[in-house]
């Protein structure tokens, strides 16, 4: 099968709206949390999150066109534009037949949930006469960001959306990786976006007891592995990767960040929202990714854990890691302690972190840890509170989603 290079990155995040700013804040161990501003959350049990700040869609989209896109698509367009530019590509300047082999796989867990809520609120507040925005459906549907990116850049290759809850964008990246490996495309734009800081989303996750209620200490509320963690902190944003067939990237002199070498997908097949207590699906996904990459557990230097800061989820993942990696000494960190949980976009933004960790030789920390949970399995090497310098050869990114979805990806140093 063909080799796959990562040649471009893009990021819209709670910690910055460029890859450089985002990475600098990740290494510095900053928190993106703060009071919710996108709606009045005064009556909610959770009143904070990790919002994107200072995002101006007109930097990427014509002012007259912005209204056609839900915020999740605006984030997608911005991040993918950044990644395409970063890769040194101008697709519209390519002959059309070359663009037949360039595709988009873009993920979201919730799609245009903001548009959905706004439109129904207006309907039920009215007299019952249907006066829906003509863009309601194309703004709302989850696949529309993939379509918008392809239309914008005239890309005629494989084009679709992956939805596997919080594993969605890692699944998209693995799918793009496989598409290139099998010779079905030369270049793929892949990633995910989420704009689910809405009353329905925050209220729904809150009702399921998934969100932290630590309103008085928002900056430190996202604390995976900590004894006092009380749930995840909702985030938003987008991450984009350009995946490219290796020889094509070399031939055009592309800047190569890393090589993608493996992907594993599995299922807990256990519970609608809870992870398997023994980390069954997690272990299976990681094992499949290692097999796909043709490496052993001892070759992996760093794992970006899915760890969201929920009690059972964090423990079960580390149990799964212990099952696969034993006492190998692999470094583990949970960067959701800084970004919050970007839901369907989490896998993409954490893939960026893995790739930049490889390139820069820095392992980001899990911040906000005061005391490790004594229920966590012993003998694991969790990076706590401060980033560490380390020469890395292989890194692994874990993502899990409601429904038991598991996706693990592996990147190799270039």
Catalytic residue IDs? 166
Beta bridge partners of 117: none
Spatial neighbors of 23 by CB under 8 A, at least 6 apart, are: 352, 353, 356, 360
Is residue 304 within 8 A of residue 398, CB to CB? The reply is: yes
Q: Cα-atom radius of gyration of the chain, to the nearest Å?
A: 20
Residue pointed to by tokens 């796989």: 105
Q: Which two tokens stand for residue 329?
A: 């000494």
Backbone angles phi, psi at 326, to 5 degrees: 55, -130
Strands 4-12 and 258-267: antiparallel
**Count of alpha carbons within 13 Å of 135, Cβ hemisphere only?**
12
Look at residues 151, 153, 158, 154 and name the one whose alpha carbon lies nearest to residue 183: 158
Which two three-digit tokens encode residue 401?
């989603």
> Which residue(s) pair with 241 in the sheet?
9, 190
Interatomic CA distance for residues 45 and 130, integer angstroms: 33
CB 82 within 8 A of CB 55: no
Residue 278 to residue 258: CA distance in whole angstroms:
32
**Any residues with CB less than 8 A from the CB of 311 and at least 6 apart, and which?**
229
The rounded distance, in Å, linking the Cα atoms of 379 and 281 is 21
Query: Nearest Cα to 334, choosing from 264, 238, 400?
Result: 400
Q: Is the dihedral of CA 193, 197, 200, 204 positive or negative?
A: positive
């Amino acid at each position: 099968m063909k080799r796959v290079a990562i040649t471009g990155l893009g990021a819209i995040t709670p910690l910055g709206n460029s890859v450089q700013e985002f990475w600098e804040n990740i290494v510095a161990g900053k928190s993106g949390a703060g009071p919710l501003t996108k709606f009045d959350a005064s009556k909610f049990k959770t009143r904070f999150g990790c919002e994107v700040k200072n995002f101006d869609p007109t930097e990427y989209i014509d002012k007259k066109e912005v209204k056609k896109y839900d915020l999740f698509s605006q984030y997608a367009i911005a991040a993918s534009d950044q990644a395409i530019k970063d890769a040194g590509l101008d697709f519209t300047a390519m002959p059309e037949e070359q663009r037949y082999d360039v595709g988009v796989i873009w993920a979201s867990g919730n799609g245009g949930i903001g548009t959905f809520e706004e439109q129904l609120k207006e309907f039920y507040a009215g007299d019952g006469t249907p006066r829906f925005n003509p863009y309601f459906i194309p703004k709302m549907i989850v696949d529309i960001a993939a379509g918008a990116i392809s239309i914008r850049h005239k890309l005629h290759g494989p084009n679709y959306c992956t939805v596997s809850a919080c594993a969605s964008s890692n699944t998209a990246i693995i799918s793009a990786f496989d598409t290139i490996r099998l010779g079905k495309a030369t270049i793929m734009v892949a990633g995910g976006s989420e704009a689910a800081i809405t009353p329905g989303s925050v209220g729904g996750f809150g009702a399921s007891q998934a969100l932290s209620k630590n309103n008085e200490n928002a900056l430190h509320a996202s604390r995976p592995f900590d004894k006092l963690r009380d749930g995840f902190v909702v985030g938003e944003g987008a991450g984009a990767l350009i995946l490219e067939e290796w020889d094509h990237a070399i031939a055009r002199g592309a800047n190569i960040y890393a090589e993608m070498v493996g992907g594993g997908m599995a299922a807990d097949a256990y519970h609608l929202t809870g992870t398997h207590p023994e980390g069954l699906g997690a272990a299976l996904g990681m094992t499949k990714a290692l097999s796909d990459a043709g490496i052993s557990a001892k070759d992996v230097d760093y794992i970006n854990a899915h760890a969201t800061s929920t009690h059972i989820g964090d423990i079960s993942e580390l149990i799964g890691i212990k099952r696969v990696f034993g006492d190998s000494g692999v470094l583990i960190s949970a960067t959701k302690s800084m970004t919050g949980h970007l839901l369907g976009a989490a896998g993409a933004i954490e893939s960026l972190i893995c790739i930049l960790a490889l390139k820069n030789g820095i392992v980001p920390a899990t911040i906000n840890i005061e005391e490790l949970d004594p229920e966590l399995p012993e003998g694991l090497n969790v990076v706590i509170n401060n980033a560490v310098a380390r020469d890395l050869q292989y890194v692994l990114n874990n993502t899990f989603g409601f429904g038991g979805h598991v996706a693990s990806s592996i990147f190799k140093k270039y």
